[in-house]
Amino acid sequence: MNILLSNDDGYNAKGIKILEKILMKYGSVTIAAPYKNVSACSSSLTVHSKIEIKKINKKCYAIKGTIADSIHILTRGILKKKPDIVISGINFGSNMGDDVIYSGTVAGAIEGRLYKHSPIAISIANRKPLYVNDLEDKLELFLPMILKETVKLKTIFNINIPDVPFSKIKGVKVTKLGRRNISKRAKIDNINHKIYATIGAVGNPIPSNSFTDFNAVEHNYISITPLNTDMSDYEIISKLKKV
């Protein structure tokens, strides 16, 4: 299997290095990732300027752009053969609920949606995770099955792993996206007659009785949320047709 690996934290981030080693037993791994951390860039493409590419070695390319740039350039420009699958991660920090709108990690998987296997985005629910030495054991709970089924299931798999010891992982849950409350207000500063803003923190998860990604991770389950890029609201379409 030819695997194209990315991570919006950058080509040299700890998470991508961990995942690279784990994935080597599944196939040939090529890295295409931003030169530096570009978190929360979503699916942004750099279309108004040239993008510098640094070839670190024959299996690693650092792109001075976004994660979507990285996947696009490798698959549509540099690689002579299409990858079988695009995998994005391991991101340090969760990507659940409304986060997927902004997430570079999820965007990397979305950019790989047109290949043989469904793409995968993997995150661990802590920006400074405490339990990374057992990540291979955690991935073994779902990765072999996901890689086997991705040929049949044309979707985007968004996976979030609780940052707890492997012994405390209760299992794997297939979930839907949760929702967050509105984000905190931006901080506005006036400095030397110029106005500056700092984006506010994300809102807290909205409590739900259904099994969302937030609920799964909170209860120490690995969350697997299938996503698609069809943003059509079919219920409203049906109602409008009747009107």
pLDDT, tens only, 85-108:
999 999 999 999 999 999 999 999
Domains: count for the chain: 1
**What end-to-end distance do the CA atoms of the chain give, in Å?**
50
Whole-prediction pTM: 0.94
Contact 114, 155 (CB under 8 A): no
In-domain check, residue 23: yes
Q: Residues in the chain, how many?
A: 243
Contacts of residue 63, Cβ cutoff 8 Å, sequence gap at least 6:
11, 32, 33, 34, 35, 51, 52, 53, 54, 69, 70, 73
CA 17 centroid distance within chain: 15
Asked if residue 198 is part of any domain, the answer here is no
Please check whether residue 69 lies inside any domain of the structure. yes
Q: Please report whether residue 185 resides in a domain.
A: no
Rg (CA), the chain: 19
In a domain, 183, yes or no: no
**Looking at residue 201, what DSSP letter applies?**
P
In order, the DSSP letters of 94-129 are ---TTHHHH-HHHHHHHHTTTSSS--EEEEES-SS-
Q: What is the pLDDT of residues 184-242, one digit of tens each?
A: 999 999 999 999 999 999 999 999 988 999 999 999 999 999 999 999 999 999 999 99
Position 153 scores a pLDDT of 82
Q: What angle do CA 218, 223, 226 make, to 5 degrees?
A: 140
pLDDT in tens, 102-124: 999 999 999 999 999 999 999 99
Distance CA 88, CA 6 (A): 5
Residue 194 lies in a domain: no
pLDDT greater at residue 75 or residue 149: 75
187 is a domain residue: no
pLDDT digit string, tens, across residues 146-191: 998 877 788 999 999 999 999 999 999 999 999 999 999 999 999 9
* Burial letters 167-183, b for 16+ CB under 10 A, else e: eebeebbebbbbeeeee
CATH number at residue 123: 3.40.1210.10
Q: What mean pLDDT is reported for the chain?
A: 95
The answer to the question of residue 191 being in a domain is no
The boundaries of the domain holding residue 121 are: 2-178+206-242
Burial label, 34 (beta-carbon count in 10 A; 0-12, 13-18, 19+): buried
Query: Residue 4 pairs with which residues in a beta bridge?
Result: 30, 86
